Amino acid sequence: MLDLISEKEKFASGYQLIGGVDEAGRGPLAGSVVAACVVIGEDFKIKGELEKVMDSKKLSAKKREELYKLIREKALAVEIGVVSPKIIDKINILQASLLAMKKAVDGCKIAPDYLFIDGKFKIPKTDIPQSAVIGGDGKVFCIAAASIIAKVARDWLISAEAEKYPEYEFARHKGYGTAIHLSKLKEFGPCPIHRKSFGPVKDCLKK
């Protein structure tokens, strides 16, 4: 079970509103990249089902959706940021991920005064003090909570796209480069939500 050690250290330093930030969808060949920011205050407690919050990749889709609702209920603020495949192709996936994170933070109705970011890169162009934590979704509670929000939100978005482009079966693979996705890509060519700067899609366009 994750604890609030990192968050409590910052509360003890005088910060009052801690935001955890993570993204989902850096690796797929299609769809947007989605980031989330989850803000908690000093009186936040991990109890009940919240004890099951962990890195979203270690949870089932059903459990993620249950925790998604709970996190939204219990956190002071929860916001997502979305960056489209078109922008990903224009500025690259790392910059797009950081932009999605910034959008999530900037959109919070209760603004955090300290941020924990998953990964090794800090969010550019923000005055909010922050720490980048490698593997943060497995170490810092508020980052793990953000990983769940981002993953569920992205899965919903790509499943909605699946209805527009049923031939690619996006609901099954969520845009990742699975064998079935690569086979569909080869058969039908890229669609408007494919990331044209990503290798397999780029190769398809050359053919």
pLDDT of residue 173: 96
Question: pLDDT tens digit string along 15-52?
Answer: 999 999 999 999 999 999 999 999 999 999 999 999 99
pLDDT of residue 89: 97
> pLDDT above 90 covers what percent of the chain?
97
pLDDT of residue 1: 87
The domains located in the chain, with CATH, are 5-201 (3.30.420.10)
pLDDT of residue 181: 97
104, 108, 114, 116: CA torsion to nearest 10? -30
d(CA 111, CA 76): 10
DSSP conformation letters of 119-162: SS-PPSS--S-EEEETTGGGT-HHHHHHHHHHHHHHHHHHHHHH
Those residues whose C-beta lies under 8 Å from the C-beta of residue 65, and which sit 6 or more positions away, are 152
Helices (H), 5-125: 5-12, 61-74, 85-91, 93-107
Ranges of residues in the chain whose predicted pLDDT is under 50: none
Question: pLDDT tens digit string along 159-175?
Answer: 999 999 999 999 999 99
Structure tokens at 109: 């109705």
pLDDT of residue 109: 97
**Angle 94-87-147 from CA coordinates, rounded to 5°:** 50
d(CA 136, CA 155): 21
